[in-house]
Structure 1
């Protein structure tokens, strides 16, 4: 049987305890090393996201029917942060009814979570077998990491990703400043290199996405394609919700499968 392990992790960068959920396929108990998918939750979620999606059960079925290879799937808690370095000291800011987590979340993920997983699980510690994806705010974070750290991730997925066409003033704390919004806006990214050309990307959103993220992924898709990066862009029927993700989850796992 596959397992979900809940691991408490003390982050030096955030100065607090965090949690990550780790899916281990049944094949893990027999030894060997496995590719890793980091699958990031949205702003109202946490590490239980993969269980809410019933991702372990679907992965079990796809592995058992040889549709995908066994892989480790990791969902780290990133709070309501978009995964960026938005402040030196971790804290929360309340904007209206929205509580935003700010701090060094990018350093936490790149410098702590990824090395921790490689050190404590039988991963294949290579960019060719390390993938990052996510939904909504987690989709923004995955896109950010894929662009900023192409030497770490060979496959990148943004599923209804919260990529804004223009900065909403209420979202300013996510970035730290207007200048940092532009520095971290995927639609303004220019520092492409040889590692990006060795990546594969999957972008998607619902045609009724309330955030308008179906529009932003079309723009991002054009940017990536113009750089010669292998990219899929899908606009499917649906809204910006868990139901849309569940309906498309098998497609995501099939994309992350293999080299």
Structure 2
């Protein structure tokens, strides 16, 4: 019994000790209301303040102007050079033609000199009408004075330009003394021969491509036509031309009178050539014609050849000079001539 009491008292003592400890612990807690919590801000290391920058005004992006690259100048091949025409023929040829003339009422023969390679070139050639004198015919220039031969030589030497020679016969029509009304030799030449030539041959059909000249009476006719119709011919030549104050009697057709009052239209004065031998009995009137031209200030070329007479030998000796005068303004290069297709 004593043992149980002891154990019982020990247990109670243990519980009393625990209770006292608990009370002590409880006494340590505050009995006042809990204080308002203080918020403690823990500052972190401040971030560096960014340096403000101006907000750029938006501008259009500049359009890049490309720097032009140097343009390469292409090296072009040189333009093709016209190949000079090379003619294998050494001489031209003379052909005979007949003009069915209504004015003359008969056929008028005429000889034509065609330069070397005329048919191959396809070009239009300038031409000269060469008139014979009294009591002569179309063979004077071609056979006696040998104008074709002189032209062949000049072409070989490149001293003369290529040209066509037209050498008509005059016959009775050239010597009938008719000048003002048909039938006249002049009308036959201008109204029939020229159109026939320009239809049948590849000629330069323009004033600048035509010339006319003549021997003795042929020189008279050449001046009558060229002075009265300067729009037809760019040059006129008289080789010992026959002039007479009374022939032709109609002063409108007489060169000695025509030049006294002549006024050429602008740009239509033909080039004028006169030559005579100092022994020629016609020299007096030829010099009178020359003096009138000079007093009127009309440009011309005049030559008095010493010891020359009114002869075929004199004219033959100077035929090369005559051709050089007619061709003075014409090209020596065949490639420069107008095309026959034009």
Q: What TM-score comes out, normalization by structure 2 length?
A: 0.64
Residue 250 (structure 1) aligned to one of 304, 313, 320: 320
Which residue does the alignment assign to 1:33?
124
2:218–2:241 Cα contact (<8 Å) kept: yes
Structure ID, larger Rg: 2
Q: Does 1:220 find its partner at 2:289?
A: yes
User: CA shift at 1:188, angstroms?
Assistant: 0.5
CA contact 1:24–1:72 (8 Å) conserved in 2: yes
Equivalent residue of 1:131, what SS? Answer: strand
- C-alpha offsets along residues 122-147 of structure 1, whole Å, 9 cap, x if unaligned? 11111112000010010111111111
RMSD: 2.0
Out of 199, 204, 207, the residue aligned to residue 270 of structure 2 is 199
Paired position in structure 2 for 1:59? 151
SS across alignment from 1:70: coil
C-alpha change, 1:70 and 1:191, in structure 2 (3 Å) is same
Asked if structure 2 preserves the Cα contact closer than 8 Å seen for 1:68 and 1:254, the reply is yes
3-state SS of paired residue (2:112):
strand
Distance 2:136 2:294 in 1: 31
Q: 2:298 aligns with which of 210, 229, 237?
A: 229
SS at match of 1:198: coil
What residue number does 1:171 align with? none
Q: Which residue of 1 aligns with 2:222?
A: 142
* 8 Å CA contact retained: 1:85, 1:107: no
Residue pair 1:53, 1:242 contacting (<8 A) in 2 also: yes
How many pairs were matched up? 233
CA deviation after TM superposition for structure 1 residue 198, in Å: 3.3
Give the match's secondary structure for 1:239.
coil
| Partners of 1:217 and 1:233 within 8 A in 2 | no
Moved beyond 6 Å, runs of 4+: none
How many angstroms apart in 1 are the aligned matches of 2:291 and 2:216?
20
CA distance in 2, matches of 1:85, 1:135: 19
Whichever structure has more strand as a proportion of its residues is 1
Question: Which structure 2 segments of 5+ residues have no match?
Answer: 1-90, 330-342
- In structure 2, the partner of 1:6 is 96
TM-aligned CA distance change 1:202 to 1:196, over 3 Å: farther
- Please say if residues 96 and 110 of structure 2, whose CA atoms lie closer than 8 Å, have aligned partners that are also in contact: yes
